[in-house]
Structures are given as C-alpha cells and as structure tokens.
C-alpha cells in the first residue's frame, strides 16, 4: 500500500488551498443570539460543538445556547451475534471488528438536528460497525469536534459506540505545537482539557475520543504527558480513547504502520491501559500485522484492539487491499480494520439510488447479498469477513423501515409534510440481512422505497414475479415471547385481496427453522394493520424475523410500513409539558421565522421521540420535525395568510408508537406579510382527462371561486385523472395550492388522497414531478416549489378517502411572478 500524508482532513486541505492563516488561538464561532430563554433570544440554527484546546476550557453547557440541542437521548444498546445465524459462512464473530471514520459534514456550520435537505449520508449498515468516529476538525475552524446528536442517536440505537475527534494537523496544514501543549496543560494533578472532554462526552451522550496527533516538533516529555492525560481521564471518568499511529514515544511523528515498541505505550503502558484501541496507519504489511498481533498479546491486549487502516476516501471499493493479510482464509483474523472515509459511497454518487447501490457494493458485495460475497473480488464486501450484530434484544421492537431521510413525512400513513429532510435521530434499526431471499423459483426484490411510507419517509417494498415461496430474512433478534406478545405488520397492496404474505419467525432452539403465520387479506389499497398472536410460542425466544411470500403473481408488489413485536396493547405515553419558545428569528419578515423550542420530557419514560406540528385552520396539522431530545430547532414556520398567531403542538410518541395528548403554545406574528406573488393559473386555459358533468369542466378549477356550490369544481370519473393549465409563458413558480372537496363544502371523505403535481416548459418536454402526495386528508394543501414552467398539471391517483371514484378539485392554483 502506498502511504500518503496520513489522515489529512478535507477541511484542512480546503483551508490551506484558500490561503487561510489560522491564528494561534482562533476563537470558535460566536453565537449570534442571547442565551436561550432570555428576552429577545434568537431562533438561529444551532450547530455541533467544536473548540480549540484553550477555548474548550470556557465551555459550559449551562451558558452555551446550542448545547441542549446537541444532546443525544438514546442509550447505547447491547448487541447479539449468534454464529449460527451469520449470513456468510466465511464471516466471523468475536474476532476482527470495524471502526468507521466518517465525515458527516463540515467542522463548522454542521446542523445539530438534521435539515431540510434529503441529500445526506444516511448510513444503513450499522450491523458491521463496532465504533464510529465523527471525523472532522481543522486548523482554521477548531481542533476538537463533538458528534452531532443525530449520529449518536442512530449509532447507539444500533449498539455502535461514537467518538468525537481531536485533530492536531501537521505544520504544513496549519498545525501548531502550542496547541498540543495547550491540550496537556495541568492544574495541580488535573488535566483541565481532559476534564472538559469527559464533560462534553457525558453531557452530549457519546462514548469517547479519537486522538489524531500529527503535529511535529514534540519531545518525549510531551509524548509522556499525552499518555498521562489519557490514563488520567480513563481513571477519573472512564472516557474511551482511540489513538492514531502517528506520534511516537520520542515525541516525533513517525508512522509505524504497526504496533511497535515506539508506539505501544499509547495503547498499553506497563500495567496502565492508556487507550482502548489504536488505529494503525495505512501502509501496513503482513509481517507488520503479525508482529503487531504478537506484541498486543504480549502486552495483555487483544489484537482486535488494533484497527488496521484502509483509506477509501478517494477510491471507495476500488481501493487495493491485501485482504488475506487481515483475514487469512481458514485462520483467525489478524487484527480489526479501520475504514477511513466510507462516505465515499455518498460523495461520489450521482443520486440517492446510486448511493444505495454503491453503499451495498461497499458493505455486502457486488451481489447485494451478504450471503453471496465473492471472495475473489478485489473488494469482496465487508460482510464476507465480519459477521452481523443486532441490537434487537428487548421488547418492544418497532421498525418502520425509516432511513432517516426522505422527500416527505408520513405519520401513521397520513402525509403530514411535503419536502425533503434528513434526521438520523429518526432512523429505524435497518434490516440485519440486506438482502437475503431464499426461493426455489424467481427471487423477489426487496428495496427501501421512498415513494410511500407508513411512518417517516420510506418503507420496505417487495416486488417481482411470485412463482414459488420466497423467504426474506430481515432481522436477527433475541426477543423472549410472553403470553401477551404480539407481532404487528402494517401492509399496503395495490388492490384489495390476499396479501400472499406470512410473518416468519425462528426461535433460538431452532434458529434456522421458520414458523410462519399468515397475514391474511387487505380490504383496500391503503395501509392496514395485521396483529398476529404469538401466545402459542410463549417461553421461547425469537432468533429471526422474516417475511414469506407464497402464491402466484406475475407482478407481485407489496409494501411493509411497520413491523412491531410488543407485549400487550400499544402504550400511550404521558404528555410532555412546558412547551416554550426559547427564541425566534425572521426567515422572511412578517412571513416566516425559525424557532428554538423546548419542553419538559414526558414523565414515566417509554418515549421513542417527540413530534412537532403546527395546527392549520382546517383542523389538520403540518409536521415540523421530531427528536428524542427535549429541545428542537424548527428551521422554517410559514405564516398562513394574515393569521395573527400560529399554534404549535408537541406530542410524545411511545416506543410502540402510541401517541400522547399534545403540549401546545402559540407563536405570534407582527407586521404585514409580504406579497407572495399571483395565482398565475387564474382563468388560464385548462384541459382535463374528462369531466363528470357538463358544468364541472376544468375551467371551474381555475375560476378563483370555491363558494359556487358543489358544481363549482372540476370533477372526473376517468380511470386516468389529470388537469392541465397553460400559464401562457414560462413563469417562476413558488408554490401550488390545491383546494379539494372539503374546501368547497363537501365531505372530507371526498378530499383527494393521492396526487402529484407536474411541470414542463414546452409540450415536447417530459413532465417533471415537483410534488408527490400520498395519504392526504386535508381540504386545502400547499406545496412550496422553486421552479420555472409554462404548463402545470395535477394528476390524481386516489381521488377520495374511500372507494368513491370521482376526483373533485375546486381550485388548482400556481403562485409565482
């Protein structure tokens, strides 16, 4: 392997390329707002914390207005890994582990709780990772970076430890030896910076720190103080450390690419445990790894505390790796492995589908199946070496197959928000086996589907030709069955009738033998819950959860929106209290604002997360975001019309997805909202797929009226239902407003349930979908866009809440300039 300058950060490279000249004690970003809770406090975006050694000494969560937004509330879960259930026969349990060094965002301006951008590294192969390092830091911004709570939440939910980063760069990239000396400064017998590192980890809820000391010019005394600092912190607080193979005991930076006498005291110093693990530099060799293993054992440490580095930042799974030295065939693993920058799969992707394909290739191999890894491939896939682990060891277990990103947000099958988002705090435990399908005939294709969801922004979809029994293995578990244990599946099919689906479970006394329970039929085409009684299996422990499709269907298509294993009935949590607006800032004066909210956690526990909504005039609610925390940042709250105040609700969602009553507060509006443009569709030429009656043509949907009685609408009974408006020329559009049956005084049961909005500038162009809505119940829906188009189109795919076949649209408005 060729050695480059080790572990240089893209942030540092960027700062150097821009000619940044960092000050010796540059201060971190100064908050632009008064402290939270003070009069006039700002609703500004909170960011992840970062410091220099001198500035972290001044950090106090009680006075840092962003601190409470950076807290993880998900404890580290225990994991199980049964060797009998590993997907790949060559993979091993209890040997080599994986540490993943990931840059989820920049050091500065890294949003605390996700954002309104669906383009994000929503990592989903936690089952192979032991530790995750939240990678960052740069000379020009800050050297000490604490992880975002969203990443901690997702990692801990999967049983993965999370470390922050301490980065001392080489002098060529802005490093200054004084920063290292500041880091190890003492006060009596204490190391104040170490105490702050422990305080940050404890307060924010993560597990330790990765120490990357690459600044040259040190001596043996400085190296000794770094060892003393880690030993001090471990003895006092139990803080974990991973040390990078750079500085040696002499104080010089000299990458060993192995565990040697020159760096081993940073792992184990006689009887003292200095760090919990070491990341070995990338230029390792077979002989070096063998000697590293021998020395680790001589020191009383496991060879699997050594993580041999593999740099995939530039080439991803095209990186050349000597796999046989790490994982010799038929022999125990030599060491663990450290993956540097596996988010290459996201950064190099052209779109989300490309990212998912690349991520699968990286982790489970070219066949997208961990059981079918080809060991002769240059990058076989990590599932061929390291067996899966699962955090599903206690009830309740619920998954909605929510990846932590999406293009909309559904709650219990109802669309409550449109627009993209990312928030890994809401990510469910991904399937342990992605994807394993056993069939004697055609093999169904499982996928994460972003077009529909029961809860969140995605669901599990099974598609293909069904001509034989297909068993889809999903989760390894260790769930004891009681007399009142139930297995719930929420399922959606294209038509009413048999789902041809069975729940399949195996038990620890026969872990590879599945017992099946028929799900039955769906009565319609919406999401339907099927509750299966597991009482006959009381006293046994579930080892695997799977699905089995059985029957015949040339175009089988089923979505699974939720799987839940729970005891008794779905729990209803207590309501949160004390909902407070800590601060607000204008996004657009008089029209929209950002908010910082806080509340008192629901008493009694059992809360998975809290959901934040705004109440609408028609009685519906719009989802604004969610968090397991007791504080949340709302990036944008829009004023509707000239309303004087908006009511906000926060409700607790239990671990079984029961919902509390809401805590509420109001946000006032002042001033006159600015002009939002014009309804450019008003009285423009309109065409449609058809009309129910002669007086219910498409012109009625652009006449500016909803008060002319039940005939003041466009109505269609065609099998294909669409309404098209010609704006006359290409216009800049800011939003669409659709007024459904309820807006015209008809029953809410006639409101359009599923529809999309499309645009194009020329008749020869293909249509582009700018809004896709499923599960709507509201009488009026608003769809913000930023686009330019001449032709706009409304396509109705499910016209009502029931089986009534008529589409009823009172107005289709296209707002812009």
Tens-digit pLDDT profile for residues 46-62:
999 999 999 999 999 99
pLDDT of amino acid 789:
93
Identify the band that residue 672 occupies on the pLDDT scale cut at 50, 70 and 90: confident
Judge whether 227 and 262 are in contact, CB under 8 Å.
no
With 0.75 as the threshold, say if the pTM is over it. yes
Q: Which residue has the higher pLDDT, 11 or 240?
A: 240
Q: What percent of the chain clears pLDDT 70, i.e. is strictly above it?
A: 95
Identify the band that residue 9 occupies on the pLDDT scale cut at 50, 70 and 90: very low
Neighbours of 308 (CB within 10 A): 29
pLDDT of amino acid 671:
83
For residues 322 and 85, what is the distance between their CA atoms, to the nearest angstrom? 27
Identify the band that residue 675 occupies on the pLDDT scale cut at 50, 70 and 90: low
pLDDT of amino acid 26:
29
Judge whether 212 and 163 are in contact, CB under 8 Å.
no
CA 466 to chain centre: 32
**Tokens standing for residue 763:** 């008749």
Identify the band that residue 20 occupies on the pLDDT scale cut at 50, 70 and 90: very low
pLDDT of amino acid 619:
86
Strand partners, 42: none
Judge whether 180 and 222 are in contact, CB under 8 Å.
yes
**Rg, Å, the chain Cα set:** 28
Q: At CA 185, angle to CA 183 and CA 190, rounded to 5? A: 110
- pLDDT of 345-356, one tens digit each? 999 998 899 999
| SS3 track for 362-381 | HHHCCCCCHHHCCCCCCCCC
Q: Which residue has the higher pLDDT, 418 or 205?
A: 205
Instruction: Return contacts of 342-351, CB within 8 angstroms, 24+ apart.
Output: 342/100, 342/102, 342/312, 342/316, 343/102, 343/103, 343/104, 343/121, 343/123, 344/312, 344/313, 344/314, 344/315, 344/316, 345/316, 345/317, 346/120, 346/121, 347/121, 348/316
User: Rounded mean pLDDT of 93-116?
Assistant: 96
Strand partners, 518: 502
For residues 47 and 109, what is the distance between their CA atoms, to the nearest angstrom? 6
User: Rounded mean pLDDT of 64-69?
Assistant: 97
For residue 676, pLDDT over 80 is answered with no
User: Rounded mean pLDDT of 105-134?
Assistant: 95
397-421 burial, b for 16+ CB within 10 Å, e for fewer? bbbbbbbbbbbbbbbbbbbbbbbbb
Give the residue carrying structure tokens 């004390």.
578
pLDDT of amino acid 19:
31
- pLDDT of 363-382, one tens digit each? 999 999 999 999 999 999 99
Which residues have C-beta within 8 Å of that of residue 144, sequence separation ≥ 6?
50, 51, 52, 53, 56, 137, 164, 165, 166, 167, 197
Judge whether 381 and 321 are in contact, CB under 8 Å.
no
For residues 323 and 386, what is the distance between their CA atoms, to the nearest angstrom? 12
Instruction: Identify each DSSP E strand in 320-361 by its residue range.
Output: 336-340
Q: What percent of the chain clears pLDDT 90, i.e. is strictly above it?
A: 85
User: Rounded mean pLDDT of 582-610?
Assistant: 93
For residues 404 and 157, what is the distance between their CA atoms, to the nearest angstrom? 13
- pLDDT of 750-806, one tens digit each? 999 999 999 999 888 889 999 999 889 899 999 988 889 999 999 999 999 999 999
- pLDDT of 252-301, one tens digit each? 999 999 999 999 999 999 999 999 999 999 999 999 999 999 999 999 99
**Tokens standing for residue 707:** 């008060």
Please list the alpha-helical segments (H only) found in 69-219.
149-157, 177-183, 192-204
Neighbours of 155 (CB within 10 A): 28
For residues 74 and 657, what is the distance between their CA atoms, to the nearest angstrom? 16
Tell me the average pLDDT of the chain. Answer: 92
pLDDT of amino acid 117:
86
pLDDT of amino acid 642:
84
pLDDT of amino acid 424:
98
pLDDT of amino acid 647:
97
């Amino acid at each position: 392997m060729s050695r480059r300058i080790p572990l240089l950060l893209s942030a540092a490279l960027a700062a150097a390329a821009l000619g940044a000249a960092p000050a010796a004690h540059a201060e971190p970003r100064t908050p632009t707002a008064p402290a939270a809770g003070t009069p006039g406090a700002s609703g500004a975006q909170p960011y992840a914390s970062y410091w220099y050694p001198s500035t972290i000494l001044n950090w106090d969560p009680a006075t840092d207005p962003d601190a409470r937004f950076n807290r993880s509330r998900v404890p580290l879960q225990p994991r199980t890994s049964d060797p009998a259930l590993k997907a790949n026969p060559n993979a091993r349990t209890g040997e080599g582990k994986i540490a993943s060094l990931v840059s989820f965002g920049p050091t500065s301006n890294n949003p605390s709780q996700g954002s309104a951008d669906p383009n994000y590294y929503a990592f989903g192969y936690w089952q192979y990772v032991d530790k995750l390092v939240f990678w960052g830091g740069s000379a020009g911004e800050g050297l000490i970076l604490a992880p975002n709570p969203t990443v901690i939440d997702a990692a801990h939910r999967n049983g993965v430890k999370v470390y922050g980063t301490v980065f001392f760069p080489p002098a060529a990239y802005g490093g200054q030896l004084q920063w290292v000396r500041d880091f190890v400064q003492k006060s009596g017998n204490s190391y104040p910076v170490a105490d702050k590192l422990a305080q940050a980890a404890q307060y924010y809820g993560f597990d330790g720190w990765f120490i990357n000391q690459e600044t040259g010019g040190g001596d043996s005394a400085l190296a000794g103080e770094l060892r003393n600092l880690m030993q001090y912190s471990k003895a006092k607080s139990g803080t974990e450390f991973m040390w990078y193979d750079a500085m040696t005991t002499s104080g010089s930076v000299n990458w060993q690419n192995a565990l040697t006498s020159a760096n081993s005291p940073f792992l184990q110093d006689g009887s003292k445990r200095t760090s919990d693990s070491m990341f070995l530099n990338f230029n390792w060799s077979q002989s070096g790894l063998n000697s590293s293993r021998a020395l680790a054992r001589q020191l009383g440490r496991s060879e699997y505390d050594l993580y041999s580095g593999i740099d995939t930042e530039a080439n991803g799974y095209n990186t050349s790796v000597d796999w046989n030295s790490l994982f010799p065939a038929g022999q125990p693993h030599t060491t663990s492995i450290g993956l540097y920058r596996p988010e290459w799969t996201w950064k190099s992707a052209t779109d989300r589908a490309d990212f998912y394909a690349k991520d699968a290739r990286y982790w489970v191999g070219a066949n997208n199946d961990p059981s079918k890894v080809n060991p002769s491939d240059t990058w076989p896939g990590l599932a061929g070496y390291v067996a899966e682990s699962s955090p599903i060891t206690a009830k309740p277990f619920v998954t909605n197959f929510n990846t932590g990103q999406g293009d909309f947000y559904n709650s219990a099958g109802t669309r409550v928000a449109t627009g993209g988002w990312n928030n890994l705090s809401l990510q469910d435990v991904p399937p342990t086996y992605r994807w394993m399908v056993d069939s004697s005939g055609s093999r169904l294709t499982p996928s994460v589907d972003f077009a529909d969801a029961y809860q969140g922004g995605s669901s599990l979809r099974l598609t293909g030709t069904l001509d034989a029994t297909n068993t889809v293995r999903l989760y390894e578990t260790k769930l004891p069955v009681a007399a009142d244990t139930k297995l719930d599946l929420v399922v959606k099919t294209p038509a009413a009738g048999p789902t041809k689906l069975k729940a399949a479970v195996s038990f620890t006394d026969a872990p590879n033998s599945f017992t099946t329970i028929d799900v039955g039929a769906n009565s319609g085409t919406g999401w339907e819950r099927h509750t299966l009684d597991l009482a006959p299996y009381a006293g046994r422990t579930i080892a695997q959860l799977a699905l089995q499709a059985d029957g015949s269907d040339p175009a089988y298509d089923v979505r699974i929106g939720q799987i839940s294993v729970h005891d008794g009935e779905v729990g209803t949590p207590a309501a949160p209290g004390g909902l407070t607006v800590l601060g607000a800032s204008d996004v657009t004066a008089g029209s929209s604002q950002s908010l910082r909210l806080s509340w008192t956690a629901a008493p009694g526990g059992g809360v998975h997360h809290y959901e934040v909504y705004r109440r609408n005039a028609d009685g519906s609610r719009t989802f604004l975001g969610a968090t397991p925390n007791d504080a949340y940042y709302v990036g944008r709250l829009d004023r509707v019309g000239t309303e004087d105040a908006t009511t906000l609700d926060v409700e607790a969602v239990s671990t079984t997805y029961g919902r509390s009553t809401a805590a509420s507060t109001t946000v006032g509006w002042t001033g006159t909202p600015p002009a939002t443009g014009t309804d450019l569709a008003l009285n423009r030429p309109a065409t449609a797929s058809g009309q129910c009656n002669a007086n219910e043509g498409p012109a009625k949907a652009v006449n500016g009226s909803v008060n002319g009685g039940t005939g003041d609408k466009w109505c269609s009974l065609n099998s294909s239902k669409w309404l098209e408006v010609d704006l006359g020329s290409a216009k800049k559009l800011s939003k669409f407003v659709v007024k459904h049956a309820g807006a015209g005084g008809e029953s809410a049961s006639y409101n359009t349930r599923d529809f999309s909005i499309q645009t194009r500038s020329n008749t020869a162009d293909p249509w582009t979908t700018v809004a896709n809505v499923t599960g709507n119940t509201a009488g009026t829906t608003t769809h913000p866009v930023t686009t330019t188009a001449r032709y706009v189109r409304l396509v109705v795919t499910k016209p009502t809440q029931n089986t009534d076949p008529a589409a009823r649209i009172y107005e289709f408005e296209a707002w812009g300039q």
